[in-house]
Structure 1
Amino acid sequence: MRRLAGLLAVSVLLAGSVTGCGLDAAYKLPFDVGPGSIEPVPELEGLQITVGSKNFTEQILLGYIAEVALTAAGADIRDMTNIQGSPSARQALEVGDVDLYWEYTGTSWINFQQETEPIPDEQAQYDAVKKADAERFGIAWLDYSPVNDKYAIATTREFADKHQLKTMSDMVALLAEQPDLGSMCLESEFISRQDGLAGAERTYEFDVPDRNIKTFGVGAIYATLAAGNTCNFGEVFTTDGRILTLDLAVLEDDRKTFPQYNAAVTVRTDFLDRYPQLADVLNPVAAKLDNETILELSVEVDGDGTDPAVVARDWLVAQGFVTNPAG
């Protein structure tokens, strides 16, 4: 609870305006897109749709996937991906700076609905958050995808093998004996979230002293953790391709502290009511996505250095959703 106040304070500051968070610039896709199974939709032709995302690889990829798909349907897309943090992205949607972005069921349930107990079943968690968001905030959820990007704690393969770590309970037992090994690289948002460190401390009945916490941007944690000289443990996302490229060992959440985080497009209810065709375009795309796909696409971005917009387009072309006029 000691860290929750920080997140709440940030949320209050965001309530006034999000224009100071990098949302005052928008760009179009850097290439043309042709129709595939997604054909031009008359109701969406020329409609300006601003698509946002949070500021990590998977989110940016998902944002571009939505942008490319909607471009094939005829919409005029404004790219507002790479927004700093969950509260900023959500606030941008609520106030109309963006029209849609992909959110995670657990994030909305814990952070925006302020619920303290996650729902273990994917469908039940989705149904609950969809109902609550519609009633309380006028936010609609399109169909959720099989992508379930859960939080996890990871370490290097070498450290895990040396200390025989397979689960978070193993980690807690090790730190009870050798607390000096408990250095953790964490993002500031994860530290304060009830579905992050605060919840894990409660579930596993341990406490991470502030002196053991090293704060990094989410993108820097993976490389810092892999280097092995700053922290022994770090926060990761289970669908992040850097887990594969850096050969990190993800600890099993054996007490199930981290909620379900199925990704789905969120959109203001009034906007979806005016343009229900958005669901017809994006729901089939969501159904084709899964954890393995996102891992592979993330590796193309983080491992190979390919532009995420290009990765998103090429995947949609491979699935037959769109075509590439340039061949």
Structure 2
Amino acid sequence: MRKLPAAASLAASLAAVALTAGCFSSTGTDAKAGSLAEGNSLKGVTLTVGSKEFTEQLVLCQVTALALRSAGATVKEKCGLQGSNTTRAALTSGSIDLYWEYTGTAWVNYLKQTEPIGDPARQYAAVAEQDLAKNKVKWLAAAPANNTYALAVKTTTMRQLGIADLSGYARLAKTDPSKASTCVASEFAGRSDGWPGLQKAYGFSLPKSDVATLAEGAIYDAVGKGEPCAFGEVATTDGRIKALGLTPVPDDKKFFPVYNPALTVRESVYRDDPAIEKIANPIAAALTDSVLRELNGEVDIRGKQPEEVAETWLKSKGFIGG
């Protein structure tokens, strides 16, 4: 992996601290002990949990904070950091102690690998081994959910256009680019496992006039309305896909990597408090695609707060006390 020069590394760490300043919350919802706390005490331990800014991450941040509190830990929250690189820098610099990351993101963005591994178990094993060895980041168990990228379109529009897969979308982008108009978020627009890589893999180049850069959350409504774009970047575990009548276009060339979420912990933190793993792993095992879509939908469609959604779900599983 290409390492930053010392000055750049220091700058990144300072930037992470600056961007997270003022985002602390140590007065979050208390949690009674449930199954996660059985034999797993974190009394006297103080931990800072972080997350990226999108809905799923905000929910997982609250899930983690409540789970740790149920075992007696004092938990500070830095939920909602802006972007993958900022959140990762917060972890490695010590600004946060743990957060949920995705196997594909780590493989491509942090480990600088250009060829994703299609098998989820092999991809996780490779990420966990290399990240620990190179960056002292410990990966706990991965969830079965795969929150990968996709291009989505209104289901009725997909039928009208006769698009069956991304190869069909690429042909449309070449022959009638205005009908292939696409909305992307700024991070996706610059990632090698995002828009640039997708165009290269499928052999098309959509004119800039037919590409709109929107906030990630706004893309779903834009695609649902077909304005300003017919297609848009989505996350496959987002509850708004079904609610808005969208269909992810099948990735027939298997371009998008596997993105299984797992709790990542700085190695020194894990070494001091290994009970974190016994608390986190049952949560990971329960996070399927359908569960994440439901939790995300509770926030994005029904307007509930992430902490409320997290608490209700943890109680429903008996993970924390009622």
Task: Give TM-score, length-normalised by structure 1.
Answer: 0.92
Tell me if structure 1 keeps the 8 A contact 2:137–2:264: yes
What whole-Å deviation, never above 9, does each CA across 1:199-244 have from its counterpart, x for those lacking one?
Answer: 2112111112222221112111111221212011110000001111
User: Which residue of the other structure, out of 229, 249, 262, is the alignment partner of 1:264?
Assistant: 262
Report the equivalent of 1:92: 90
For residues 114 and 10 of structure 2, the distance between their equivalents in structure 1, rounded to whole angstroms, comes to 20
C-alpha separation between the residues in 2 aligned to 1:284 and 1:220?
Answer: 33
CA distance in 2, matches of 1:11, 1:224: 38
Of residues 33, 43, 58 in structure 2, which corresponds to 1:60?
Answer: 58
Partner of 2:175: 177
Q: Which residue of 1 aligns with 2:223?
A: 225
Matched, 1:78 2:81: no
Identical positions, percent? 38
Provide the secondary structure at the position in 1 that maps to 2:76: strand
1:113 has 2:140 as partner = no
Read off the aligned partner of 1:187 and give its amino acid letter. Answer: A
The 4+ residue runs of structure 1 with deviation greater than 4 A are 10-13, 40-43
Pairwise CA distance, 1:135: 1.1
Other-structure match for 2:4: none
| Aligned-partner residue type, residue 277 of structure 1 | A
Name the structure 1 match of 2:165: 167
What is the letter of the counterpart of residue 51 of structure 1? V
Shift of 1:188: 1.0
Q: Distance in 2 between matches of 1:147 and 1:127?
A: 16
1:74 and 1:211 map into 2 onto residues whose CA distance is 54
Is the CA contact 1:185–1:215 (under 8 Å) kept in the aligned structure 2?
yes
SS of aligned partner of 2:37:
coil
Question: Once structures 1 and 2 are overlaid, which stretch shifts more, 155-164 or 52-61?
Answer: 155-164
Letter in 2 for 1:188: S
State the 1:161 CA deviation. 1.7
Aligned residue for 2:207? 209
Q: Does 1:299 align with 2:297?
A: yes
The structure-2 alpha-carbon separation of the partners of 1:182 and 1:20, relative to structure 1 and needing over 3 Å to count, comes to farther
Deviates more, 1:201-210 or 1:66-75: 201-210
Contact kept? 1:23, 1:83, Cα under 8 Å: no
Aligned: 1:19 with 2:33: no
Name the TM-score, length of structure 2 as normaliser: 0.93
Counterparts in 2 of 1:41 and 1:254: CA distance versus 1, 3 Å: same
Give the direction of change, closer, same or farther, for the CA distance of 1:91–1:27 in structure 2 (3 Å limit): same
Cα offsets for 1:184-208 (capped at 9, x unmatched) = 1101111111111122112111112
In 1, Cα distance between equivalents of 2:47 and 2:271:
14
Distance 1:143 1:207 in 2: 38
Would the aligned equivalents of 1:149 and 1:263 in 2 still touch at CA under 8 Å? Answer: yes
What is residue 48 of structure 1 aligned with on the other side?
Answer: 46
Return the match for 1:242 from 240, 243, 246: 240
Deviation at residue 121 of structure 1 after TM alignment: 0.4
Amino acid at match of 1:284: P
Q: How many Å separate the matches in 1 of 2:266 and 2:125?
A: 17
Distance in 1, Cα, partners of 2:40 & 2:313: 25
Please state whether the residue corresponding to 2:152 is helix, strand or coil. strand
- Summarize deviations over 1:225-269 as a string: whole Å, max 9, x none: 212120111100000011111111210011100000000000101
Deviation for aligned residue 1:25: 2.4
CA distance in structure 2 between the partners assigned to 1:53 and 1:144 by the alignment: 16
Q: Where does residue 3 of structure 2 map in the other structure? A: none
> In structure 2, what residue type is equivalent to 1:230?
P
CA distance in 2, matches of 1:42, 1:173: 55
Asked whether the 8 Å contact 2:13–2:89 carries over to 1, the reply is: yes
Which ranges of structure 1 fall in alignment gaps of 5 or more residues? 1-9
How many residue pairs end up in the alignment? 315
Equivalent position amino acid for 1:246 in 2: L
Which residue type is aligned with residue 111 of structure 1?
N
- Is the counterpart of residue 143 in structure 1 residue 145 in structure 2? no
Partner of 1:110, secondary structure, is helix
Q: Secondary structure of the residue that 2:263 maps to in structure 1?
A: strand
| Cα RMSD, aligned residues only | 1.7
